Amino acid sequence: MNLKELNILLADDDTDDCIFFEKALKELPLSTIFTAVHDGEQLMDYLSNALLAQNLEPLPDVLFLDLNMPRKNGFECLSDIKQNMKLKDIPVVIFSTSYPQNPDYEHDMINMLLKFGADDFIRKPDDFEQLKKLIHLALTMVTEKISFNEKRENEL
């Protein structure tokens, strides 16, 4: 896993979910920088500003993206991010409660999101300990993928 601080961006309009996410992140054995935006337009503005001022605001190492947000929803943001050559490599973890507990519907929706470029899907849990475990697992998977790609690039 990378030793550098992970720049974590959460796009979620639910203030309570943002607070719980940040608390869970602080309890993990990872060095992180946390930023939250509260709708899709704020997310895309944040990413655009990071592209313009890369030395001042780096792009996130991981984006946790809620699907149901005002002004621009998570589906639209995911599509815009994955179509942008400078943003498409940002790992995106869908972080949402938007699906009913219907396993077939949820399975189809998750597969569609993965096809559109999402790296993972987390259903927001009600339990704080479970939230910590899911965030840690997602970050471990993403950072191992990043480390593998960095190692491969350095070997070429």
Q: What are the domain boundaries of the chain?
A: 6-155
pLDDT (average), residues 106-119: 82
* CATH architecture, domain 6-155: 3-Layer(aba) Sandwich (3.40)
What are residue 36's DSSP bridge partners?
Answer: 10
pLDDT (average), residues 94-110: 73
Q: Under 8 Å CB-to-CB from 98, ≥6 apart: which residues?
A: 66, 67, 68
Q: For residue 153, is pLDDT > 60?
A: no
The phi and psi torsions of 59 (rounded to 5 degrees) equal: -65, 150
pLDDT digits (tens, 9 = 90+) for 51-90: 887 656 678 999 999 988 888 898 899 999 999 999 999 9
State the pLDDT at residue 19: 93
